[in-house]
Amino acid sequence: MTIRNPRTCVLPRSMAIALTLACMASSVGGAERKVEKPAERPRPEKTEPATSPLAVTDAELRRSFKEYTGLRLGDEKSVYLTFAKGADLEAAANLAREAWIKTSGKEQNLPNFAFVEAAATLEELKEARVKLRDVLTIKGVVYLDLDESCGCLSIGAGTKEVISRIVDYIKELNIDTSWVTIVQTPEYRLTADLTEKFRPTMGGQQIRTIGNSCTLGLPVYSWLMHTDGILTASHCTQGPQGDNWATPILQGPGSQDFIADESLDLGLFDNTLHPDCPSRRFCRYSDAVFANYAGDLGIRGRVSRPSTVCTVPGVMCDLMVDRPTDDIRIAQATIGFFTGQVLDKVGMRSGWTRGAITNTCVDVNVVEVDASGTVNQTDNTMLCQTLVATSSFPGDSGAPVFQFYDGYDAVNFAGILWGATVNFQSMVFSPIDGIQKDLGNFAYNQEGVTAGFWSDGQFYTSNLDDQLYVTVERNVKPADEIEVVLVANQNISARKEIVLVEGAAIGTGRWTIATSGNTRRDQNGLYTYQLPGGHLEFRKRIGSADEEVSRLPIGHLAGGTRLTFTWQAD
């Protein structure tokens, strides 16, 4: 299946960064919509987003050391801690180690903690940032960031010419210029191909509104609306940003494929309503919107999985999807990402891309780019956003951003993409805490087992009718083997299969276990040397054909494990 045109928001290119919102235009027309009442589903359990070992370490240091300003991730084995002068660095390192081990439970994965000297104390930087808030009103300023990883203030300048105005403004406020770094960067623009029709709908696929083509962010459950729906970019909807016009959202190439209605949006606010917003500008903490599903159309916590991942900024990745059922599964939502951590996104224009975080909690001015390529300033500023060095193009607006764990096909959801620099080499997204500040809380993942198989639980395929229960037994087979068992409930008569596929580096072996009619149970196994790169394919009889409905990796399974899948409903 190929994917074509999308729409995305892009950021301008200069030596600094500027943000812009943009979607790709498309003609939707006046589609007649038949709204079906969604099927009743049990409400998900209410949970809070998870915090990473980095976030816990950051919080512990912040509570204990007034000189601490922040941290950033270096390579996989190093974390840089930033302190102002006067801190007991030995005590700080010991506390960081204790917090990391307590959270991760893995002393062997303890990173090396190194230190960076801050330009000023955190309190001094916070006061200076408040004074500098209105630097965002200067035309050509892209962003303002209290960069905790360097213990300094960072200002993005869209052109060389604006740098002198920024310097003069800093001096007028009597702020120490050694505390401020000015970065020449492109501006950030709005971006709106996984362009085919998919059922069930998943994150990363194309959606359309009147005049816009964007990306479905993630199927979620809204605790405020008490219903399932989707998250995507607010600027993709009709009317002024934040106005709720109940925008119809469509999918697929036709104009009649109505899937959802805009239902939760938030108007922009100004400085009279919140001091975080610069003077004469209009702000939000997220460019996100929630739309109610018009029926049983999606699976919570699933993202379409393109066959290729790209890591070079500014490059469009292949939009090919090997199978419509291929997915990336959200294990949990996470807040507290830091500079240097690597995040991914799947957008309908530039596909699956990956890059490192360059800035966190950045206030970003938004620009728009018209059909002729002209950059137009807006009065809008998105507060406390995250910048990542990876591709985003028009059409990617609304894309899901996540932290991917190789070998599990399970990820931590991080937020919703809304823009990119105008050279398409950096994306900007709204983190979960900003989304929830604007729109309330959500359940981001589907309850049940993903690919971890750490414990018993429900397992779901990409077919909305399927439900299986998986039982995980440890140390019941020889240490160099694993076993997979398939059981069909009494109400299941049509053929069901699980294909055990060994890793490609070993060979092309495929072994099928199946139930059908009176055959209610089957099993087979693999040796542990066959597991790396291997996977399970779940298949079922639909009509006269056996169709794949899900696949999951098995390279992480421990020897001696038995997995028993009981197919309960289809």
The residue among 267, 157, 163, 252 whose CA lies nearest residue 208 is 252
More confident: 225 or 76: 225
Tokens of 313: 């900024």
198-207, 337-346, 435-444: range with lowest mean pLDDT: 198-207
What integer pLDDT is reported at residue 201 of this predicted model? 83
Question: Cα–Cα distance between 11 and 186 in angstroms, integer?
Answer: 6
Give the domain extent around 482: 457-569
Asked whether the predicted pLDDT for residue 17 surpasses 60, the reply is no
Asked whether the predicted pLDDT for residue 319 surpasses 90, the reply is no
Whether 467 is covered by a domain: the verdict is yes
Average pLDDT over residues 227-244: 90
Rg of the chain taking only CA atoms, in angstroms: 25
| Amino acid found at 413 | F
Reported as a pLDDT band with limits 50, 70 and 90, residue 343 is very high
Whether 527 is covered by a domain: the verdict is yes
Average pLDDT over residues 275-286: 95
Task: Write down the mean pLDDT value for the chain.
Answer: 86
Tokens of 386: 């995250």
Tokens of 273: 């309503």
Is the Cβ–Cβ distance between 485 and 525 less than 8 Å? no
pLDDT, tens digit (0-9, with 9 covering 90-100), for 440-491: 999 998 776 665 677 788 888 888 788 899 999 999 999 999 999 999 998 8
Reported as a pLDDT band with limits 50, 70 and 90, residue 196 is low
Asked whether the predicted pLDDT for residue 37 surpasses 80, the reply is no
Whether 191 is covered by a domain: the verdict is no
Whether 269 is covered by a domain: the verdict is no
Is the Cβ–Cβ distance between 483 and 525 less than 8 Å? yes
Whether 248 is covered by a domain: the verdict is no
Model's pTM, two decimal places? Answer: 0.82
What integer pLDDT is reported at residue 361 of this predicted model? 95
Whether 346 is covered by a domain: the verdict is no
What integer pLDDT is reported at residue 449 of this predicted model? 62
Tokens of 482: 């694993």
Question: Cα–Cα distance between 301 and 410 in angstroms, integer?
Answer: 10
Helix crossing, 89-104 with 53-64: angle to 10°? Answer: 140
Whether 545 is covered by a domain: the verdict is yes
- Strands 375-388, 351-369: pairing is antiparallel
Reported as a pLDDT band with limits 50, 70 and 90, residue 534 is very high
Reported as a pLDDT band with limits 50, 70 and 90, residue 2 is very low
Q: Look up the CATH number of the domain holding residue 484.
A: 2.60.40
Asked whether the predicted pLDDT for residue 253 surpasses 70, the reply is no
Is the Cβ–Cβ distance between 26 and 207 less than 8 Å? no
pLDDT, tens digit (0-9, with 9 covering 90-100), for 172-190: 999 999 999 999 999 988 7
Average pLDDT over residues 155-163: 94
Average pLDDT over residues 37-52: 65
| Amino acid found at 497 | E
Q: Residue 35: helix, strand or coil by DSSP?
A: coil
Asked whether the predicted pLDDT for residue 105 surpasses 70, the reply is no
What integer pLDDT is reported at residue 327 of this predicted model? 86
Whether 543 is covered by a domain: the verdict is yes
Is the Cβ–Cβ distance between 216 and 250 less than 8 Å? no
Is the Cβ–Cβ distance between 216 and 299 less than 8 Å? no
- The H or E element spanning position 255 is none
What integer pLDDT is reported at residue 138 of this predicted model? 94
Counting the structural domains of the chain, the total is 1
* SS3 annotation, 460-481: CCCCCCCEEEEEEECCCCCCCE
